[in-house]
Structure 1
Amino acid sequence: MIKKLMGFTFLFLAVTVQAQQPFSFVALGDLPYGSAQSAYGPYRTLIERINQDAPAFSVHIGDFKSGSTHCSDEEFANQLAHFQRFKGAVVYTPGDNEWTDCHRTNNGQFDPLERLTALRQRFFTPGLSLGEKPMPVQNQSVDSSAFGRYVENVRWLHQGVMFATVHIVGSNNNLESRDIAASREFFERDAANIAWIQATFEQAQLQQASALVFAFQADVLENKTQWEDFPSWSGYRSSMGETLLPLAKKWGKPVLVVHGDSHQFRIDQPFKLEKKPLANVTRLIVPGASDVRAVKVTVKDASFSFELLSPLR
């Protein structure tokens, strides 16, 4: 359903859930893109708009810088300061621009694995989100000794809805056959992601969650072919095609997948299993890059509704 209000067009999609109390959260990502002079101002006014709406929490799905700006300590510090501008809690999951692509000349020729370590050290505190008023979260690094480095994978329950971030990024999830170190990193993180997705479904079942929300950066269908959604060379085959989607079908209740990467705001149901649509899995792609907006997601009256938020003027 599409509604027009005060010159703005909003798209709403109802997905049946059973929340204990109505609430809203904000999803955003692929922001800010560009230099500090051009990008920081609009991004900060967007954060002000989010603060004005006072959601239960916000989720930033990664790429807090563009793919052509430096991966410097200064940039990291600036973006951490931006997260602390959120009056409420904000959960962040990394994107490829923050680490996998940092070896590029226009990114400053940084070591991607060193940048990943820096992200984990600077942006994640076990047990807590970011934001001026952080909220409690569960980290995979604490939950499982076998995956002690994956502090960025977090989970929390709010009003009967289970939320989880998963470190799945663009650039084919860092699966690069020509780079042994990158491939090793991918396979280790992929195993952690699969375990985290499985554990999240188990927890949702145990806690009788009414819906599940997964947030990550990558557009996992970027490698889709006319024959397969997740071909053998896709860095998303195991975590998505062989894990999340089959578990979502088995679970049966609503699953919302939130991601960015492609920068085009969209709400749809593109996922299939054995070539059959998964009617209980909905996708939200947040806007980003030059489109400096966020998405307010409201869980109310047994439905998810979606509203675009623009920066304050």
Structure 2
Amino acid sequence: MKPCRPIAATTGATAAPRVNFNFGKKIGLTAAFLLWATLAAAETWRFALIGDTPYSDHERIELPKMLDAIADSHVEFVAHIGDIKHGSARCDDALFEDRRRIFDASRVPFVFVPGDNEWTDCDRLSNGAYSPLERLNKLRSLFWQDSLSLGQKKLALERQPGNYPEHARFRIGPVLFVTLNLPGGNNNWGMTREASAEFRARNPVVIAWLKENFALARRESLPGIAFLFQANPGFKHFSQGLPHDGFQELLTVLRDETARFPGAVIAVHGDTHLSRIDQPLRDESGRVLSNFTRVETFGYPFMGWTRGIIDTANPQLFRFETHPWPAGKP
């Protein structure tokens, strides 16, 4: 695949000016920031993160209001990292189409990453006893049918070639954002010691996309890369030598690539419904990888959003703020 080029939000056919991110030879995170400072004045970009919502009729009513408040905060985009319904709710076309309407009504570009509640769990009787792969293909036809985001304003995306259009990447400022299809429930490994056929088909594609985008970020000397996916992959258990089967390879690659990357690495997920920002990834010696940050979104029954701020004057590049909803709620 040819390298992804710098991308900006667009409205209709008119795109914002592109920025050249070719910085030359990689010189480490601190030096990269110094180089940025010499090339241009410090700049900031903002984005919003949500997930595991709406799960109830109340959240269905509140979500459009929250999206309006997010748009009022002047973010570049909002990302929903999966689980767009309650785990016991049916996976019917009407529900998917309703969520598409909500997301498309967003006044800022809207990026959606799939969660287990809307495909791998759809074989449950309470969900309608659907075929999970049939439901995933329905999601693809609704949410990832072209190279643009959802929302009233569109963000141009580059999708991974092949059969997984939910895998995409785009740039905001100096940061490469990458989406991955990693559902909760042990990454759809299955209920036995042998991985499911679906996992065996998808996992190599996920790993290849992860590696390719680290390579792209290194090649273009980008100071930051952010991965967006649904599942909590079990960082704590992995660091204790007790990895979950469905995430062992993923976390091994993520650890090794992060250790070699001179910039900031962000992983955004949901799944366990606990809003938090921490540094749970460790190297093989057990030391915290200080350039890695995990951001978990709010999740039912707690509603809210997380604002990410890219700041080229900040040596850490990123900072985050949590915003419970309704605003002012403790």
How does the TM-score come out when normalised to structure 1?
0.86
Match of 1:276 among 282, 287, 304: 287
Whichever residue aligns with residue 246 of structure 1, its letter is D
The answer to whether 1:26 aligns with 2:48 is yes
For residues 1-313 of structure 1, the aligned pairs below 5 Å read 18=33, 21-34=43-56, 37-141=57-161, 148-178=162-192, 183-221=196-234, 224=237, 227-231=240-244, 234-241=245-252, 243-274=253-284, 275-300=286-311, 301-302=313-314, 303-311=317-325
Whichever residue aligns with residue 249 of structure 1, its letter is A
Q: Which piece of structure 1 moves more, 93-102 or 213-222?
A: 213-222
In the aligned structure 2, how far is the partner of 1:202 from the partner of 1:47? Answer: 34
Cα deviation for residue 273 of structure 1 reads 2.3
Residues 246-284 of structure 1: CA deviation (Å, up to 9, x unaligned): 111111311011110011111110111212221111111
Query: Does the CA contact (< 8 Å) of 1:293 and 1:310 recur in 2?
Result: yes
Query: Does the CA contact (< 8 Å) of 1:126 and 1:138 recur in 2?
Result: no
RCO greater where, 1 or 2, for CA within 8 Å and sep 6 or more?
1
Partner SS, residue 131 of structure 1: coil
Runs of 4+ residues deviating >6 angstroms: none
Whichever residue aligns with residue 21 of structure 1, its letter is E
- What is residue 11 of structure 2 aligned with on the other side? none
In the aligned structure 1, how far is the partner of 2:193 from the partner of 2:322? Answer: 40
In the aligned structure 1, how far is the partner of 2:73 from the partner of 2:203? Answer: 36
In the aligned structure 1, how far is the partner of 2:242 from the partner of 2:176? Answer: 26
Cα deviation for residue 21 of structure 1 reads 2.4
Whichever residue aligns with residue 251 of structure 2, its letter is M
How does the TM-score come out when normalised to structure 2?
0.82
Residue-pair matches, total: 287
Taking a change above 3 Å as real, the CA distance of residues 263 and 79 of structure 1, as seen in their structure-2 partners, is same
Q: Percent identity over the alignment?
A: 32
In the aligned structure 2, how far is the partner of 1:156 from the partner of 1:39? Answer: 29
Any unmatched runs of 5+ in structure 2? Answer: 1-28, 37-41
Query: Does the CA contact (< 8 Å) of 1:160 and 1:209 recur in 2?
Result: yes
Cα deviation for residue 95 of structure 1 reads 0.3
In the aligned structure 2, how far is the partner of 1:244 from the partner of 1:102? Answer: 29
Query: Does the CA contact (< 8 Å) of 2:235 and 2:280 recur in 1?
Result: no
Partner SS, residue 309 of structure 2: strand
Cα deviation for residue 226 of structure 1 reads 8.0
Partner SS, residue 277 of structure 1: coil
Taking a change above 3 Å as real, the CA distance of residues 253 and 229 of structure 1, as seen in their structure-2 partners, is farther
